[in-house]
């Protein structure tokens, strides 16, 4: 089976690079830097190469006017992963307003159906000013608004990558807000509480790359990139699993994003070394007429 096209784990293409994506689809290919070596990698975008497309975003708004064209190209073999946390501004600096995100998700659900729209409440971050009670209340409010509009909610607790720890250290120096590290028992207790809320809203709750949370009966293991979530599912067997990290269950995929390029400014982001670097990258994209550095590289470049 063909792999899934991932757009993108590394950055928010629908929110910030929608025009680049549209040009690439029309051209039939894109060229992106290898995330390790930086060397150009050519990615063909003809629909015949892919099982389908999964969009990852916090703001699908810029892509919404172009869905008819994209669906004609990929044949509605599409699904959306929309992250909506509603965290305090000091943790999510430039995320869209919650009410706007909810309206956009409602539009996607109406177009594609709840099965193909996944809500990501991810990751969970606890601080000394925003603890488990506040997280649970946020989740309850969002789950109520999304009831009947999404088929599942995918969640995890924030991971301690060095770049993330550095961002939280800066937050504590600048604001005095301290990030908390919950124990396993505390994570399981909060997971149990989230599950009760999700059940009331009719939403399946799935843990991403955190198998310890499966100890809570009713929590499912997430497969974020999943052919079964596509609006139109491809014929034949699903692609093999191809984990991108430990405990990942995703189907085989190819990502077309670039690290250090998402300007949402989330302190917990795994894809940016620091928010300012990503903001500068995006400004360079705008200054270049919404073009990326490798746009002139063709298939044989």
8 Å CB contact between 81 and 206: no
Q: Give the global pTM.
A: 0.96
Please tell me the predicted confidence (pLDDT) of residue 194.
99
pLDDT tens for 12-31 read 999 999 999 999 999 999 99
What pLDDT, in 10s, does the model give residues 120-169?
999 999 999 999 999 999 999 999 999 999 999 999 999 999 999 999 99
DSSP 8-state symbol, 61: G
Mean pLDDT of 157-183: 96
Residue 164 lies in domain:
4-287
Give the helix/strand (H/E) hosting 300: none
Q: How confident is the model at residue 301 (pLDDT cuts 50, 70, 90)?
A: very low
- Cα–chain center distance at 39: 25
Task: For residue 273, tell me if it sits in a domain.
Answer: yes
Which residues are CB-neighbours of 171 under 8 A, at least 6 positions away? 90, 91, 177, 179, 267
- Residue 35's nearest CA partner among 6, 62, 60, 55 is 6
Q: How high is the mean pLDDT of the chain?
A: 95
Domain count, the chain: 1
Please name the residues in contact with 184: beta carbons below 8 A apart, sequence gap of 6 or more.
Answer: 212
Q: Is the dihedral of CA 19, 94, 213, 104 positive or negative?
A: negative
Asked whether residue 225 is domain-assigned, the answer is yes
17 in a domain, yes or no?
yes
Question: What's residue 1's pLDDT?
Answer: 77
User: What is the C-alpha to C-alpha distance for residues 150 and 117, in angstroms, rounded to an integer?
Assistant: 5
What is the rounded distance in angstroms from the CA atom of residue 5 to the CA atom of residue 13?
13
CB 250 within 8 A of CB 206: no
Residue 189, in any domain of the structure: yes
Q: 132-146 vs 98-112: helix axis angle to the nearest 10?
A: 40
Whether the CB-CB separation of 24 and 70 falls below 8 Å is answered with no
- The burial class, CB within 10 Å (0-12 / 13-18 / 19+), for 239 is buried
Determine, yes or no, domain membership for 300.
no
* 50-to-66, 173, 179, 234, 298 alpha-carbon distances in Å: 20, 46, 41, 9, 19
Between 79-93, 190-204, 237-251, the lowest mean confidence (pLDDT) is in 237-251
Is residue 150 included in any domain, yes or no?
Answer: yes
The span from the CA of 49 to the CA of 2, in Å, is 7
Express each pLDDT in 57-82 by its tens digit.
999 999 999 999 999 999 999 999 99
Percent of the chain with pLDDT over 70: 97
Query: Is the residue at 301 inside a domain?
Result: no
The answer to whether position 70 is within a domain reads yes
Residue labelled with tokens 């709750």: 205
Percentage of the chain exceeding pLDDT 90: 91
């Amino acid at each position: 089976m063909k792999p899934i096209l991932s757009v993108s784990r590394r950055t928010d293409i629908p929110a910030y690079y929608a025009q680049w994506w549209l040009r690439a689809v029309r051209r039939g290919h894109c060229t992106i830097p290898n995330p390790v070596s930086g060397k150009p990698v050519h990615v063909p975008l003809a629909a015949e190469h892919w099982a389908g497309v999964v969009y990852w975003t916090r703001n699908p708004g810029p892509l919404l006017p172009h869905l008819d064209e994209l669906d004609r190209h990929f044949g509605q073999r599409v699904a959306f992963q929309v992250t909506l946390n509603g965290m305090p501004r000091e943790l999510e600096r430039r995320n869209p307003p919650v009410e706007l995100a909810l309206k956009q998700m409602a539009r996607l659900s109406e177009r594609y159906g709840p099965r193909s729209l996944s809500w990501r409440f991810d990751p969970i971050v606890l601080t000394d000013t925003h603890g488990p009670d506040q997280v649970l209340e946020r989740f309850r409010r969002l789950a109520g608004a999304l009831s009947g509009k999404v088929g599942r909610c995918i969640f995890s607790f924030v991971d301690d990558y060095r770049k993330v720890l550095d961002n939280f250290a800066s937050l504590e120096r600048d604001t005095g807000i301290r990030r908390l590290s919950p124990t396993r028992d505390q994570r399981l207790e909060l997971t149990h509480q989230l599950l009760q809320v999700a059940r009331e809203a009719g939403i399946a709750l799935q843990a991403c790359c955190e198998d310890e949370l499966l100890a809570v009966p009713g929590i499912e293991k997430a497969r974020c990139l999943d052919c079964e979530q596509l609006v139109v599912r491809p014929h034949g067997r699903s692609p093999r699993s191809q984990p991108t990290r430990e405990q990942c269950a995703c189907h085989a995929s190819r990502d077309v994003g670039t690290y250090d390029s998402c300007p949402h400014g989330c302190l917990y982001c795994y894809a940016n070394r620091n928010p300012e670097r990503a903001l500068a990258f995006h400004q360079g994209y705008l200054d270049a007429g919404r073009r990326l550095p490798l746009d002139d590289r063709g298939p044989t470049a």
